Structure 1
Amino acid sequence: MDQLPTIELLEATHQFPGRYVFKVIGTTEDRFIGRVVQAVRAELASDMEPSFSSRTTAGGRHVSVTIEPEVKEAQQVLAIYERLRELDGLVMLF
């Protein structure tokens, strides 16, 4: 994901506060799933683990993580995207 959605687009297409779905694909190395979950928790300053699921590719090289945190506003969505973009091993983010 080269370009983040705008605040205007997020506010027009999502209701806040509410759940927002992030899909993150990365390498299976170095606890990628845990780092995705931790990045979201850190950005939200939350002790609670957000709802998430994961699926590893048939070859075992990549993992897809779907994470659905409760967010208060569009700005939090953008902050989470920025934090996720910094993860080592990231392949795709949407």
Structure 2
Amino acid sequence: MSWDERSFLEKLEGTHQFPEHYTFKFIVKPEYQAQIESLLPGAEIRLKPSSGNKYVSVTLRRLMDTSRDVVEVYKQANKIEGIIAL
């Protein structure tokens, strides 16, 4: 993920009022689905496999306390091979 952390934090703080429920969306190969789900224990999870089942869209929604908590999830997700964050 190549984004400027400071500007992302400013954007989050300008558009969200934490604590609030935040929705994360990722696309991964099915073998990495469990790693994504483990990033946010207790999150509401929605899955949507691609038409050829080569990828799965994972939507996670959970109460986040701060914008920094959101950034940390993205940092951890970035360590997962081939992940696409939406």
TM-score normalized by the length of structure 1 = 0.80
Moved more, 73-82 or 6-15: 6-15
Root mean square deviation of aligned Cα: 1.5
CA distance in 1, matches of 2:10, 2:36: 26
Residue identity in the other structure for 1:65: V
**Conserved in 2, the CA contact under 8 Å of 1:33 and 1:54?**
no
- Counterpart in the other structure of 2:43: 50
Once the two structures are TM-superposed, the CA of residue 52 in structure 1 deviates from its matched residue by 1.2
Alignment length (residue pairs):
84
How far apart are residue 50 of structure 1 and its match? Answer: 0.6
Matched, 1:87 2:60: no
- Residue 57 of structure 1 aligns to which amino acid in structure 2? S
Give 4+ residue runs of structure 1 displaced > 4 Å after superposition: none
For the residue of structure 2 that corresponds to 1:69, the secondary structure is strand
Partner residue of 1:69?
62
- Mark the runs of 5 or more structure 2 residues left unpaired by the alignment: none
Q: Kindly state the Cα deviation for residue 12 of structure 1 after the two structures are TM-superposed.
A: 0.6
Q: How far apart in 1 are the matches of 2:34 and 2:55?
A: 14
Structure 1 CA distance, aligned partners of 2:57 and 2:81?
A: 14
- Whether 1:7 and 2:9 are equivalent positions in the alignment is yes
Note the C-alpha offset of 1:33.
Answer: 2.2
Task: Report Cα offsets for 1:4-40 as digits up to 9, x if no partner.
Answer: 55211101101100111111001112xx222111122
Tell me how far apart the structure 1 counterparts of residues 49 and 8 of structure 2 sit (CA, whole Å). Answer: 30
Unaligned 5+ segments in structure 1 are 42-48
Aligned to 2:36: 36
